[in-house]
Amino acid sequence: MINLSSSNIDDFSLARGGPFYRLLIRTRLMGEDLVPVTRRVVFFSLLAWLPLLVLSAIEGTVFGQAVKIPFLYNFSASVRLLLALPLLIVAEGVIDVRSMEAVRHFPRSGLVEEKSFPEFRSTVRQALRVRDSFLAEGIIVAVVIFTTAFLRLESSGSSSTWEILVSPSGGTRTMAGWWHVFVSLPFFQFLTVRWLWRYLIWGWLLWRISRLDLQLIPTHPDRAAGLGFLGQAQVKFGIIVLAFSSILSSHLGGKILFGGASLADYKVMILGYVVLVLLVLLAPLLVFSFRLIEVKRRGLLEYGALANQYTRTFDRKWIQGEAPEGEALIGSADIQSLADLGNSFQIIREMRFAPMDLWTTIVPMAAVTVVPFLPLALTVLPLDEIVMKIIGILL
C-alpha cells in the first residue's frame, strides 16, 4: 500500500483553493472546509437579487403595466440569482467530496502502483498549482469586466423593461438595471467561468492519469476494469448543468409567455442543448476509452487462451473418459471452475468502452439536463389537461 500521508494527494480539492476561496475565508463567509454553505447562499443571493427588487419597487417597475416586462415577470433574472447562483455555490461541496474521493482511490486501490506514483503525485500537484493561480482568476475577472463593459452596456431593446426605459430619445438604464449590470450579472458570470475553468482542470487531470501505467483488470466486476468509480464522481457535475438548464428554461418560458413564441419553436434548440451538455459531461470519461478498449482486447485473448486450455483438459477428463477411476463428476470442483471461467469471460465481453453506466451515469446526467424544461410543457397543455390525459391512458 502506498503511503499517502507524506504526499498532498489527500489534500486534493477542486474547490478549496484560489484567491476567491481565501477571500471568502478572510471575510468569514465560510471556513476552510467550505461550510457553512447556507451563509454564502443567503448572502450572495440577497446581494444579487434583493436590491433589484427594492430599486424596481422604488422606480415602479416591479410589476404592473408601467413597462412591458416588470421585474417580477422577468423569470430568467430571478431564476439565475435565486436558483442557479445558489446551485453554483452548493456545487462546491457536492463536487469536491466525490472528486477528492476519486483521486485518492487511484493509489489506494492499486490502480496506480508505487512505480507510477511519483508521476501521479506530480500531476496532482500541477492541477493544484493551476487551481490556486492568481493569473487564472485574474483573467476570469478580466473576461467578466470585458463582457460587462463592451457587451452588456451596449444592449438595449425596443420596449421598456425594468432594466431599460425606452423613449424617442433613446434608452435609459434604471437604477435596478445598473445594479444588475455591475453587481448581479458579473458575480454570477464570475462563478460560472470559475467553475468552467475548474472543470477544465478536472478534465486535464483525468487525461494525464489516463496516460499513466494503470493496473486495469479486465475481469473487474464494474465492467470498466476498475474505473467505474469515475462515472459516479462525474455525475456530481450535473448540479452545475441543472443551474444552466434552469436559466435557459426560464428564458424560453419568458419568450413563450410574453414574446408570442411557442415551445415548438425551440425544440431543436433544446435537443441540441441536451446533446451538447451530455457530450461535455461525458468527455472527461472518454479519455480512458482507448485504454479500456485495449484492456478488453487483451483480456479476450488472454482469457480465451486460458479457456481453451481449461476446456480441453475438462473435455479429456470428463468427456473422453480420462478421469481417474473412482472420481465422481457430482461434487467435483471442475464444474464450478468451468462456470467461474465462463463468468469471467462474460464480464470481459460486457466491458464498457468508457467508465460510465447507462443507469448510474448517463440517465442521471440526462435527467438534470432535461427536468428544468418540463414546466414548459404547461405552455402547450394546461396542467389539468395533462393530468386527465395521463389518467385516461392509465385507466
Model pLDDT for residues 302-355, shown as the tens digit of each residue: 999 988 998 888 888 777 777 666 666 665 677 788 888 889 989 999 999 999
Mean pLDDT of 85-99: 96
3-class SS shares of the chain: helix, strand, coil, % to 5: 70, 5, 30
Name, in order, each residue with C-beta under 8 angstroms of 177's C-beta and a sequence gap of 6 or more: 162, 163, 164
The rounded mean pLDDT for the chain is 89
Q: Confirm if 203 and 98 have CB atoms less than 8 A apart.
A: no
The answer to whether the beta carbons of residues 188 and 85 sit under 8 Å apart is yes
Which of 374, 348, 371 is closest to 292 using CA atoms?
Answer: 348
Q: To which residue does cell 471461467 refer?
A: 341
Condensed to tens digits (0 to 9), the pLDDT of residues 273-312 reads: 999 999 999 999 999 999 999 999 999 999 999 889 988 8
- Exposure string over 197-224, b if 16+ CB within 10 A, otherwise e: bbbebbbbbbebbbebebebbbbbebbb
pTM for the predicted model, two decimal places: 0.90
**Where does the pLDDT of residue 394 fall: very low under 50, low under 70, confident under 90, or very high at 90 and above?**
low
Mean pLDDT of the region 185-211: 96
Whether the per-residue pLDDT at 226 is higher than 60: the answer is: yes
Per-residue pLDDT of 131-177, as tens digits, reads 999 999 999 999 998 887 776 655 555 678 898 888 777 778 899 99
Q: What is the mean pLDDT of residues 34-50?
A: 95
What is the per-residue pLDDT for 220?
95
Q: What is the pLDDT of residue 339?
A: 85
Domain ranges of the chain: 1-215, 218-320+334-379
At residue 158, the pLDDT reads: 67
Exposure on the CB side of residue 212, measured as CA atoms within 13 A: 25
Which residue has 500500500 as its cell numbers?
1
Task: Examine the pLDDT at 61 and tell me if it is beyond 80.
Answer: yes
Position with higher pLDDT, 11 vs 178: 178
d(CA 197, CA 332): 59
Task: Tell me what the mean pLDDT of segment 175-187 comes to.
Answer: 93
The set of cell numbers assigned to 386 is 395533462
pLDDT band at 263 (very low <50, low <70, confident <90, very high): confident
pLDDT category of residue 388 using cuts at 50, 70 and 90: low
